[in-house]
Amino acid sequence: MGTSNWLDDNQQRTWRSWLDLHAQLNARINRQLQAATGLSLSDYAILVELTPEEAEGSLRMFELGERLQWEKSRVSKQVSRMEARNLVVRRHCADDRRGAFVDLTPEGRVAIEAAAPGHVELVRELFFAGLSDEQVRQLGDFAEGVLARLAATD
Amino acid sequence: MGTSNWLDDNQQRTWRSWLDLHAQLNARINRQLQAATGLSLSDYAILVELTPEEAEGSLRMFELGERLQWEKSRVSKQVSRMEARNLVVRRHCADDRRGAFVDLTPEGRVAIEAAAPGHVELVRELFFAGLSDEQVRQLGDFAEGVLARLAATD
DNA sequence: GGAGGGTTGTTGACATGGCAACCATCGACC
DNA sequence: GGTCGATGGTTGCCATGTCAACAACCCTCC
């Protein structure tokens, strides 16, 4: 238990706007993405994981789960939905017969490449506007600090 | 369209950890709250709005919606769920026969008062740990800045 | 005084996410 | 080579949130 048992006004204000910020920003980005490309943020997240060169358009389910920090059931359902829309395909894994790969389809690649510029633009415009490199770094440090504490307390 | 069409490494890292942070922190806080008190974050949010003195334990539906920036259907359903658990009650509004008040019940007040300390403690521990007043202020300014931009672009 | 447009709130259909139970398989160890 | 705990993945159930349609009511303006 800390010294004081409450948040001071400053913290209160920051916490409130922080919560608010997340809700608003998320909603806005989701809507933009949905309207412009038909993708949800979750679709986008999966596709982003599958595009880097080292992934070669293919990852195991559990790898997706680890990278995104998603529950395995969430990954499974998300992939099912995306498979139904031809954005990805499941492929059996020879080494481990329980396992499954998720492959990016050509349609999936087209979709992410079409979606990325507008999405990134919006993020830059709303989130990074007017921040100096130094401020961006501080924000990143802060976020990583909290994440570290989250991981530490498990 | 900005000069560059992508995020630099610094921004990339910050954006990633920001997204991650939110997902993790939210999940953690929700679990703690749920486990310790049986309340969800949404329950908590509603109760918090109803407790300040100026509210006197009673607000109109639409006021709740405005303060929390929630869709009206979300408010409606959330209140229904909470009413079923005796945390709040709906009350007819005499002035406007379409309207409804939401009143905090004694059970609701007990619940929020029991939940608050542990919740706040966790927030302080995870989020504010090690931040100076000045850093807290900067964080708040940043959040409010983004919110202002969100509001401005509507 | 009533027509029309904006509010307030509810509902239903649907998409999403968490949790727990489950199945199949793997791998280590005896 | 069989047993057992851990791992990878799917499924069902439930809670939550969005959107669109609706119903009831308010208010303004003619």
Q: Which residues pair with B100 in a beta bridge?
A: B92
The Cα–Cα gap between A75 and A71 comes to: 6
Mapped onto helix, strand or coil, the DSSP state of residue A91 is strand
Q: For the sheet containing B58-60, what is the strand order?
A: B58-60, B100-104, B88-92
In a domain, A124, yes or no: yes
Domain presence at residue A5: no
The per-residue pLDDT of chain A, averaged, comes to 92
Give the domain CATH number at B130: 1.10.10.10
Q: What is the pLDDT along chain B (154 residues), one digit of tens a residue?
A: 445 678 888 999 999 999 999 999 999 999 999 999 999 999 999 999 999 877 788 999 999 999 999 999 999 999 999 999 999 999 999 999 999 999 999 999 999 999 999 999 999 999 999 899 999 999 999 999 999 998 888 6
Residue A136 — left, alpha, or beta (φ > 0 → left; ψ -120 to 50 → alpha)? Answer: alpha
Q: Is residue B77 domain-resident?
A: yes
Domain count, chain B: 1
3-state secondary structure of A121: helix
pLDDT tens for each residue of A124-143: 999 999 899 999 999 999 99
What domain range is B104 assigned to? 9-153
Determine if strand D comes within 7 Å of the CB of B71: yes
Using 50, 70 and 90 to split pLDDT, how confident is the model at A2?
A: very low
Q: Which residues make Cβ contacts (< 8 Å) with residue B41, sequence separation at least 6?
A: B26, B29, B30, B33
Q: Return positions of chain D under 7 A from a protein CB.
A: 7-12, 15-21, 23-27
pLDDT at A130: 85
Residue A1 has pLDDT above 60, yes or no: no
In a domain, B3, yes or no: no
Distance CA A128, CA B44 (A): 31
A75 CA from C24 C1′ (Å): 19
Q: Give a yes or no: residue B30 inside a domain.
A: yes
Higher pLDDT, A75 or A4: A75
B1 in a domain, yes or no? Answer: no
CB proximity A144 to B under 8 Å: yes
Distance, in Å, from the CA atom of A52 to the CA atom of A58, rounded to the nearest integer, reads: 10
The answer to whether position A9 is within a domain reads no
Whole-angstrom Cα distance, residue A20 to residue A8? 18
- At A80-107, the pLDDT tens digits run 999 999 999 999 999 999 999 999 999 9
What's the token pair of residue B102? Answer: 């939401």
Is the minimum CB–CB distance between B130 and chain A shorter than 8 Å?
A: yes
pLDDT of residue B55: 74
In a domain, B72, yes or no: yes
Q: What is the pLDDT of residue B4?
A: 61
C-alpha dihedral (A92, A97, A100, A103), degrees to nearest 10: -30
